[in-house]
A = this chain, B = another copy of it.
C-alpha cells in the first residue's frame, strides 16, 4: 500500500480508474483482476505488489471513493441556503459537476450501495455511516420550514419533493446513458429541471 501511494500520480489514477470501472460494472465477485491489470496497462504482478489481495484493493477503492464524494460534493454545498428546493437545486449542480469529473467513482459507489451481502471492516463501516449522516444534513439541516403550507406534514412534504426530484434525475440519467457525460450540453436540461422545480414550489410553498 505504501508502495502504491509513492507511485507516479498518473499511474495511480490509471489503476484506480480501471479498478473502479471494473467493480462498478461487475460487482465484487464477478470483477476480474485480469481485466483490471489489462485496462490499467500494468503487469498482473504489480496489482498484488501494491495491494496484497483483491479484497484489499476493493477496500481501498471504497475508502477513496467515500473521501472523494465528501470532498468534491458534500463539502461544496452551501448549507446556509435555507430554502429546501433551492438547496436541492444547488446540490444538484454541484453533484452533476462532481459526477461528470468522476464518473467511475460515482458508478462504483452506486454498486457498493446495491451489493447485498457485503461486509466491510469496522473502519469503513464508520466512514459509511458518516457519509450517510452528511448526506442527510446536506438536504435537511437548517431548512426553513415556515415556507411550506401550514396544514401539511412537513417531513412528508420533504420526502415527496425529494422523490420527485430524484425521479427526474434518474430518468434523465437513463435517457443520457451511453453518451459521454462531458460532451453533453446540459443547458436545456437545466432549463427543464427549473420548470419542474417551479411547479414544485408553486404547489408546496405558501
Contacts and interface: CB of A to CB of B under 8 A. Distances in A.
Interface in A119-171: 149, 151-153, 156-157, 159-168, 171
A156 B164 CA distance: 11
Chain A at the B interface: mostly helix, strand, loop or mixed?
A: helix
With a 10 A CB-CB cut-off, give which of A153, A163, A168 has the most chain B CB atoms.
A163
A205 to B, nearest CB: 10
Nearest to A29: B30
Contacts of A203: 149, 152, 203-204
Contacts of A162: 167
A159 B192 CA distance: 12
Interface in A51-77: none
Task: Please name the 10 residue pairs, one residue from A and one from B, whose CB atoms are nearest each other, closest first.
Answer: A163-B167, A203-B203, A164-B164, A160-B164, A163-B164, A152-B199, A203-B204, A156-B199, A30-B30, A167-B167
Q: Which of A202, A203, A204 neighbours the largest number of chain B CB atoms within 10 Å of its CB?
A: A203
A196 interface: yes
A195 interface: yes
Total identical chains: 2
Interface of A: 30, 149, 151-153, 156-157, 159-168, 171, 195-196, 199-200, 202-204
Nearest to A192: B156
Given A195-B153, A204-B203, A159 B166 contact: no
B30 A195 contact: no
A39 to B, nearest CB: 17
Contacts of A149: 203
A176 to B, nearest CB: 15
B160 A199 contact: yes
A157 B160 CA distance: 13
A112 to B, nearest CB: 15
